[in-house]
Amino acid sequence: MTAIAIYPGTFDPVTRGHIDICERALKMFDRVVIGVADSPAKQPFFNLDERYDMLKTVFAENGRIAIKPFSGLLIDFARDSGAAVILRGLRAISDFEYEVQLAGMNRSLAPEIETVFLTAAQRYAFVSSSLVREIARLDGDVSDFLHPEVLKRLTAKLKASK
């Protein structure tokens, strides 16, 4: 049996924190399906195609990682992907409340699917897409937190939006 986990998120844009979580997950699962959420309510800075393309670029060489956009219910996406596990990352205590709520709701909707939480390496413990975007907007150096191609696209889009 192939152990598949889905890793859903907005990835606006994908950071080294997300990458670290995926790499750890591959030690536990045969395949990881990254679900790029449409997330219109979050009004993402990058559109869905751009976020998808950046993930494709970052994980191009890993045959055990698939990237799929999704917009419906997370549990439907998990079922369609043949996944028994939803993977989420935890940073600070502030993530905990929302993540536990989400896991509890998904469990009541789909009891056969488990949520697994992983933490990233300490150096990424404070990295979030929104913070990275904000620092880059103010011309701060975020090169430690992004894949070079993602950094390039963020810099270009920020420049175009100024």
Q: Which residues bind ligand ADP (CB under 6 A)?
A: 9-11, 15, 17-18, 21, 39, 88-89, 91, 95, 119-120, 124, 127-129
Between 64 and 126, CB nearer to ligand ADP: 126
Report residue 30 as tokens: 């045969």
Between 87 and 162, CB nearer to ligand ADP: 87
Between 10 and 106, CB nearer to ligand ADP: 10
Residue with tokens 């997330």: 39
The C-alpha atoms of residue 128 and residue 156 are separated, in whole angstroms, by 19
Q: Measured between alpha carbons, how far apart are the two ends of the chain, in Å?
A: 50
Q: How far is the CB of 35 from ligand ADP (least distance, A)?
A: 9
Radius of gyration of the chain (CA): 15
Q: How far is the CB of 158 from ligand ADP (least distance, A)?
A: 18
The C-alpha atoms of residue 6 and residue 23 are separated, in whole angstroms, by 13
E-state strands within the chain: 4-9, 31-37, 65-70, 85-89, 114-118
List, by residue number, the catalytic residues: 18, 42, 91, 129
Ramachandran class of 157: left when φ > 0, alpha when ψ lies in -120 to 50, beta otherwise: alpha
Residue 124 DSSP class: G
Between 1 and 54, CB nearer to ligand ADP: 54
Q: How far is the CB of 1 from ligand ADP (least distance, A)?
A: 25
Q: How far is the CB of 149 from ligand ADP (least distance, A)?
A: 17
